[in-house]
Amino acid sequence: MRDSDIRRAVKAWLTVKHAHDVDTCVVEEMNVWSGSARIDIAVVNGSLNGYELKSNRDTLDRLPRQLALYGRVFDYLFLVVGIRHAEKAQNLLPDWWGIEIAVESDTGIQLVPRRAPSQNPSLDPYLIAELLSKEEAIGVLQAFGLDKGWKSKKIRFVHERLANELSLDELRKQVRSVLKARPRNLKACQCERE
C-alpha cells in the first residue's frame, strides 16, 4: 500500500461525505507556516480540517514536527495511517486527533475509524492569519476598515494585525472564506464533486 493508494481512498471517502455540501472545498497539499509544511489534504467548510497520510511504506520520522505545526492551525486533524504504524502513531498523537486506519481489502483500501477527533484546543491566531497571502490579508483588513496605512507593511506585520484585531472566531471565518474563494481551490472543489 502506497501513499497514493491511501490518498485515492481518502479523496473518494471525502467526495461521498461532502457530495451535497456546496460549502465544502477539498484542497490537496495545502501550505502551512508560509509554505514550510504542507498537509496532504485539507477540507475547508464550516471548519478547517486537515488529513495527514502515512502509508505502511512511510516512516513516522516527520510526524512529531507535523503535529506541532498542524496542531496550531487546523480545527480538526486526522491521521490516516497504514496498519503497520497504527499503534506507534496513536501513542504519538494528542488525544484530540482523529485516527483512520487504512486497510487493504479485495475491494481496495478501506478506512477503518480508530478514534474520532475533537476540536483543537490550541489554535494560534497568527498562524491562521498566515494561511493568507499579503493581498488576501489586506483584503480582509479592508473589509473591516483596518487597512489604512498597512498596504506597504511587511507581510508578517499584516498577519499580526489581522490576528490581533479580529476575534479568533471571526479570523477563522474570514480565512476559511478566502481559502474557499481561491481559483485553484474552486476547481478542486468542483473536481471533488464530479
pTM of the model: 0.89
**CATH second-level architecture of 3-121?**
3-Layer(aba) Sandwich (3.40)
Q: What's the confidence (pLDDT) of residue 22?
A: 85
Domain limits of the chain? 3-121, 125-181
Q: What's the confidence (pLDDT) of residue 77?
A: 97
pLDDT tens digits, one per residue of 17-49? 888 888 899 999 998 877 778 999 999 999 999
Distance of alpha carbon 59 from alpha carbon 77, whole angstroms:
19
pLDDT, mean over the chain = 90
101 pLDDT band, cuts 50/70/90, is very high
Distance of alpha carbon 35 from alpha carbon 32, whole angstroms:
5
Per-residue pLDDT, averaged over 142-151, amounts to 96
pLDDT tens digits, one per residue of 67-81? 989 999 999 999 999
